[in-house]
Amino acid sequence: MSLSEKQFKFAYWFLNHKKKIRSSIIIGLIILNIILISFLIFKTVFYFKDQKNYQIMINSLSKDLIDYNSFKEKNKPKDLEVLLTKSIFSESQKYDTISQIENVNSQWVAQYDYQFIFNGQEGKIKTNFILPNEKKFLLDFNFESLAKNPFVELKIKNVQWKRTRYLSKIPQIQFEIKNIKYYPIGIQITSDKKSNINQVNFEAINNSSYGFWETFFKVILYQDKNVVGVNIISAKQFLSKEKRNLSASWVNFLPNVTEVFVESETNILNSKNFMSVR
């Protein structure tokens, strides 16, 4: 078999460069081995390093990643705020007390005990509640004292909070108070009748969808911005959509009354206070 000129030239070139080709192949294999060994070393180091991180991750699963104490502290309800506390002279050596509190929380209902401390005398412990973003008056009566400026404070304790995310689930209580009229002692009420007491008459309408076995109405008398008289009356079996004429009275002398405020209250946390619908 005869070789072509082209094949002969290639064979001649290969024989002349055989050593160089062999050296190049050896060098290439060495470089390839170096690359493979380097890659193997890199992967080995990465593996052990990753194993360490993996173990740290596994160990962290058994720990609380959320600081629940901080979360609870941040989201707990704010304390009830006391806006006003004072005593009011009612008659000889006797005083009434009033306080106004506020629940500044928008999703928390509070049930609590409260007590007035009057010149060291402890009033009766009472239980009440306050809705989210609500202001409420608290009253107590007939504390005895010879002091002209007796010291009074309000103590709130045993506060129990209940979170309500949906305010619409709280029964909506709507008492409309209108036609408030104040009659001081001696004023002509009708053509043939004079008042022998201080009296407030008003009209209360239960616009709620519920009737209540008992509802309270707190009557606050002001001289300008100063509270000069307080009273509370109870209305039994107040039906839904019912309208009633109510009155509160004081037998003692009162300074000039410039404003009257009436606040309604009925216990919506007690299901027994709701009258059944017939």
Task: Supply the pLDDT for residue 247.
Answer: 95
What does each of the 278 residues of the chain score in pLDDT, given as a tens digit? 565 767 666 666 667 767 777 777 888 788 888 888 888 887 777 777 777 776 777 676 666 666 667 766 677 899 999 999 999 988 878 999 999 999 999 889 999 999 999 998 899 999 999 999 999 999 999 999 888 888 999 999 999 999 887 556 677 889 999 999 999 977 655 656 666 689 999 999 999 989 999 999 999 999 999 999 999 999 999 999 999 999 999 988 888 999 999 999 999 888 899 988 65
Q: Rg of the Cα trace of the chain?
A: 43
Is the pTM of the predicted complex or chain greater than 0.75?
Answer: no
Q: Which residues of 181-193 are buried (b: 16+ CB within 10 A; e: fewer)?
A: ebbeeeeeeeeee
**pLDDT tens across 136-190, in order?**
999 999 999 888 888 999 999 999 999 887 556 677 889 999 999 999 977 655 6
Q: Which amino acid is at 33?
A: N
Q: Please work out, in degrees rounded to the nearest 5, the angle formed at the alpha carbon of residue 128 by the alpha carbons of 180 and 199.
A: 25
For residue 122, what are its two tokens? 């402890």
Task: Supply the pLDDT for residue 39.
Answer: 81
User: Which residue is it, tokens 């709701």?
Assistant: 274
Q: What's the rounded Cα separation, in Å, for the pair 244 and 42?
A: 89
